[in-house]
Structure 1
């Protein structure tokens, strides 16, 4: 009944269905991994955001390679800002507005250099959108409390002088010419002494897993539906084949030619009778031929 599934056509359809199903499965796993990643970050925010700050001696290894469990861990450092090497991170959104984050190198008393994200500012009106009236960091010796984050990947975009497309810490070291720590940078929590004004502080991340779970289920369902559709199509084809086989058997029993479902005979066109009751010319011609046909053939 289902031997047609071994045909080239149906094997091709099955291969196509399997390809689409594999793609859907991959997208489903990707959404699941994103959910797990966001869930892990939420746990670290809850555990570390309001924890007591660590000192440089404790956090030194974190600055070289930030452990996952130390994400957003507070660190307290004492030293000086290097404001003439400030960098601006482009295309940052805060409260639906596009702006830049202000990244300033901070040199501790033992010479360790850490990039500090002092906050967000809206884009300026110039051609390069450089923020206007950027507040200067405190001068002299400052004690800074920051929350650690790992650097970002290189996204392959160029930026104007003094700006960067992402917080790739190795790139910030090249741009500033300073021995910047490449394992982590800090989100500014507080400064002592504090500046008169500062960029808008970045908010605490919301504990929201988003729609990743729903999207993962949807992609998995799509993958299953491809097989369901293939099975339904195969069942319909099997039914057509079965009906045609039964029709062929009946036609053979009556000595008639089988008319397959794939090539039905056209319906006869209905001819309306004339109003005067006389036959159509076609009917007269058919009657003449039917009556004269045999004698005509004998001539």
Structure 2
């Protein structure tokens, strides 16, 4: 009853079904890899919030070049590690990162170089500040002054943002849209570490005007949902092929039964074979 499945037409349908099912399984596996990757990021974020700070050098290698050069980027395992560093803020090279949103308000994130005892610097994201009330979105805000003298900070290591962000200097401050560390380093008069710090604590305390930049977790559950979706589609494709084949087999069996039950009329035309 199922010999028709060996015809070229049905073999072609089977091949297309298998190719589609394999493709869907592979797409599910890809989403599963993304789920594991995002889960690891979320675990590092949570671990960084809970851990005690370690020395900066435990997570970020010192830059080896001269002024304006960038050091090695932190490894994936060291990203989000909470570190501590002591130095002096360079208030003459504050970086304003515009068009940053906190609680649905658009303002600026403020990065200030912390110059260490060895002459290198690490950029510290001190937090978010609102724009000037009633002014244009591009108007420079009033940035609270940094503490004078030696400062000790604790913050989590972040990598720079992908993409190229133009850097301009206006009224003694650098402005950019993205935290593009290589470009920012070229504007600074010292070697710069290859990652920046998202400030958690500071001594002396930071100005209360700064709002802590919220850290969002990666939506790994969405990827897990896609895994289940693609794998269900693969099973449905195979079940659909089986259902269509079974229906065709029953149709052919019904036609054969009707013809075998009909009286033989020798004057009638020859019975046409069932098309594959």
Q: TM-score, normalised by structure 2?
A: 0.72
Q: Which residue of the partner structure matches residue 154 of structure 2? A: 145
Cα distance per residue 1:139-196 (max 9 Å; x no partner): 5332222111233433x6x65742234x3433432455753222x2210112222343
Query: Counterparts of 1:54-73 in structure 2 under 5 Å?
Result: 54-61=54-61, 64-73=72-81
Do structure 1's residue 164 and structure 2's residue 173 form an aligned pair?
no
- Contact 2:120–2:191, Cα closer than 8 Å, also in 1: yes
Structure-2 change in CA distance of 1:173 and 1:160 (3 Å): closer
RCO higher in structure (CA 8 A, sep ≥6): 2
- Contact 1:244–1:260, Cα closer than 8 Å, also in 2: no
- Structure 1 or 2, whichever has the larger Rg, is 1
Larger strand proportion, structure 1 or 2? 2
**Shift in Å, 1:203:** 3.1
Structure 2 Cα separation of the partners of residues 164 and 47 of structure 1: 29
Cα distance per residue 1:58-101 (max 9 Å; x no partner): 44438735344433222221223344544444665433455553
Aligned residues: 257
After TM superposition, the runs of 4+ consecutive aligned structure 1 residues lying more than 6 A away are 123-127, 259-262
Structure-2 change in CA distance of 1:205 and 1:22 (3 Å): same
Match of 2:248 among 231, 237, 240: 237
| Secondary structure, aligned partner of 2:221 | coil
**Shift in Å, 1:201:** 0.4
Do structure 1's residue 133 and structure 2's residue 145 form an aligned pair?
no
Match of 2:85 among 65, 74, 77: 77
Q: Which residue of the partner structure matches residue 124 of structure 2? A: 116
Structure-2 change in CA distance of 1:178 and 1:14 (3 Å): farther
**Shift in Å, 1:237:** 1.8
Alignment RMSD, CA only? 3.7
Larger helix proportion, structure 1 or 2? 1
Structure 2 Cα separation of the partners of residues 175 and 206 of structure 1: 32
Q: Which residue of the partner structure matches residue 30 of structure 2? A: 30
**Shift in Å, 1:246:** 3.0
Q: TM-score, normalised by structure 1?
A: 0.68
Q: Which residue of the partner structure matches residue 268 of structure 1? A: none
Match of 2:203 among 192, 196, 199: 192
Q: Which residue of the partner structure matches residue 39 of structure 2? A: 39
Question: Which stretches in structure 1 are left out of the alignment for 5+ residues?
Answer: 263-299
**Shift in Å, 1:244:** 2.5
Structure 2 Cα separation of the partners of residues 22 and 86 of structure 1: 53
